[in-house]
Chain A
């Protein structure tokens, strides 16, 4: 077990280093940000001074080492555009992103789990087919289009909900729905197949043989066990949501991390892009590391693989 955890930690650390190197190199290829920062008529000396200030005149390797050293100390540099520390910017946007992701997750589970259970219990019935069509649509409709349609219907025609911004509960509803839509379909599919597997198992057969009412068999014996893989996926998806929210946040002008990345890219704001993409990638790495270790704790067979 110890060896397994150590090896996984090693892999995660290596992936993190490769990630930081990849991002760093890609960002440096983007072009010179000083051109965007100085006034149009600035002299060559001014530009050079600014480049020196930002550390852009040093060699790539020195810049990378400096970058890693700073990151370890929690210093992601200053935003070129906002002129504030990037970490502050990131942390100020993070609650909004998490709020949106949590709302979208709640929505996707509320839709996905019950419909998945019904589809599994009434397998090959009408409900199951409707569920399949819902899942297919969920996976085929881009979230930003769903968002635009929602604005069209609820803001423009009915005038019930605000089309952009944040602050009240009403602002969260539409972005959460648009973002959760895709994941609801994914959760439904997993709940269904996981329920089907559990319903075919020996202990469910035994529960039925004991003469327990079907509702109790499903709710008490089958559902609890079927929920484990769904909750695992939901955990990973929560992290993914923060990431895929870029387009939805842009549609609804929601001030989260996704918009921060988008702004960083449009303003050529190196430190912001670097930090947000790195933090988001790191989040994914850490969560999948945790899932791997948790699984190994639960299932000893995994520890001895590879």
Chain B
């Protein structure tokens, strides 16, 4: 009994798991979401709901006129709660392994572009805008299309995922190899 407890504690406090094991766990989680909640695990619609709730709190009439909020209704539901859940889950995991750390400029970025927070934050905001805009344009994100959509054998999801990486690889190469010269 005690040995099992020690084994589980060791596993939970390990810095990283094999990507194959963690990935398999995510695959099982998507199946459980279909079983218990009849829906895929996707993240970008949670942000639509959050954005809509923020807009509603500022100007209810204005938000009410937006057609998109009639398709994806801003409310606190499964898709909305997934996002704070991810924050909490990653917080617990990083605390258990002692990896929690406040950082503004990640190591790979500072090695090429220096450790000025302003530049990193400006590019991150620009990236975030394209990410949120593109996710809704494509109807999903890396989790919704890339994982959950592919699991459902969706052709549109697999094509989307291929384009996420095609665009991502092209921009990363441009940013770090061409502009950064690394």
Q: Do A and B come from one complex?
A: no
Q: Which residues of A contact B (CB under 8 A)?
A: none
